Structure 1
């Protein structure tokens, strides 16, 4: 049997399925991955040097402006066929959960409700000092045209600067979110890993945790990212094409 046939058989009999998604699934909605070179006004900047607490301390206006720009990109993007296929599977009576490394809300906008964000979300900012989340008016997320800097708003509780509620390079994942994600993976029958590079740790450990717990792991990616174990099946292709085709063949959605 081919990997596709074995993946279809595994999904067809599964009642508990976890989708583990990375930048590859959102890239097809037009959101650049963290490895992509920046364009336009940001073409001279290195995102790796902006996504740190050190960078925020040194130039909070530049980092805040960068994330306003990224937030605008996400708001203009739309859920694609892969996001929608995940949501449709949840309507079939199966127990479906999503664990994502992405900081966008495309899964939620596609209709998925059980979504764990390992690396946080751009939806709401938090205070750099006291770490409490804050609600802002839409106008406070505006970045003037041709501008790259904007002073961050202040925390209404302690007056500290607000920052994006995401995990920057050098920061630890939320213990609560990580433990919950691991427990979800350990109890699933099938893990479908979509568009993940397997580079960023500890998120990259998720497929191995699933395999160690007895689950089948199905990878959907443009390149082979499998670990070479018997319970892994590799589906090469675009997320927007391969994932809907797989779920349609296995589950009739």
Structure 2
């Protein structure tokens, strides 16, 4: 990989689309979904905790699981990768778009999406819940006052505002991400295995349109062989190298 060429492609692009996955939040101490299944939760299959069927059978248990994850993500802090992507958004302005597969809300807390319409959370977020009757979304109260299952202002029970096994991604979010990647001159694929579709297909939208796609990941992924450039490092250092941020690199 020619890092100088990758840097130049990112710097010159006026339209940049970014896809992030669990690797971006790993440096903030956020475990992956399966890594979070420790202790009491280790005996459950993922489908026992994150599916419409599981919620229908035992909403109290499902909410206990999600309330614990909610506490954990609020205790975490955005890391260098989140901050650099927020800075990249400020630099690119209206030409920037971020699609994340993460549900921890750390991109938003780092400042991403502040411009409105520039960020979508493809898999939802742990920070809010959805009215089961009206579909309205409301932020969750602080963990120390959260009562589960929570109830909406209309008095209806609410479910976690995340995409479960067997459910489709929100179509409006996926459509917005697809348009952004189709229009991008440069795309970044950061900290994701490239194994979960349809999000993993976004890189192909940019490649098909003739754009440059740069992967940032310490390991080879299912997408690596298709990438224009690959930066083999964790998210914060890889992005710092691409953005020539000496402070983040410890220079």
RMSD between aligned residues? 2.3
Task: Structure 2: give runs of 5+ residues left out of the alignment.
Answer: none
Q: Which moved more, 1:42-51 or 1:54-63?
A: 42-51
1:59-74 equivalences under 5 Å are: 59-74=58-73
Distance 1:172 1:69, change over 3 A: same
Q: 1:136 to 1:109 in 2, by over 3 A?
A: closer
Offset from partner CA, 1:96-124 (integer Å, 9 cap, x none): 22110111111111111221111111221
Which range is displaced more, 238-247 or 133-142? 133-142
- Tell me the residue number matched to 2:106: 106
Which residue of structure 1 lines up, in the alignment, with residue 150 of structure 2? 153
Q: Does 1:80 align with 2:76?
A: no
Structure 1 segment 76-225 matched on structure 2, within 5 A: 76-94=75-93, 95-113=95-113, 114-138=118-142, 142=146, 151-157=148-154, 159-225=155-221
Give the C-alpha shift of residue 3 in structure 1. Answer: 3.5
| Superposition deviation, residue 135 in structure 1 | 4.7
Q: 1:10 & 1:249 partners in 2: Cα distance? A: 16
Structure-2 change in CA distance of 1:135 and 1:77 (3 Å): closer
**2:240 paired residue number:** 244
Q: Which moved more, 1:72-81 or 1:91-100?
A: 91-100
- Compare 8-17 and 40-49 and name the one that shifted more: 40-49
State the TM-score, normalized to the length of structure 1.
Answer: 0.87
Report the CA distance shift for 1:220/1:137 in structure 2 as closer, same or farther (over 3 A): closer
Contact map agreement 1:68 1:141 (CA 8 A) in 2: no
Worse overlay, 162-171 or 127-136? 127-136
- Name the CA shift for 1:36/1:136 in 2 (closer, same or farther; >3 Å): closer
**For residues 149-176 of structure 1, what are the alpha-carbon distances to aligned partners after superposition, in whole Å with 9 as ceiling and x for unaligned?**
x74123443x442111111010011111
> SS state of the match for residue 72, structure 1?
helix
Question: Is the 8 Å Cα contact of residues 97 and 177 (structure 2) preserved in structure 1?
Answer: no
Tell me if structure 2 keeps the 8 A contact 1:192–1:217.
yes
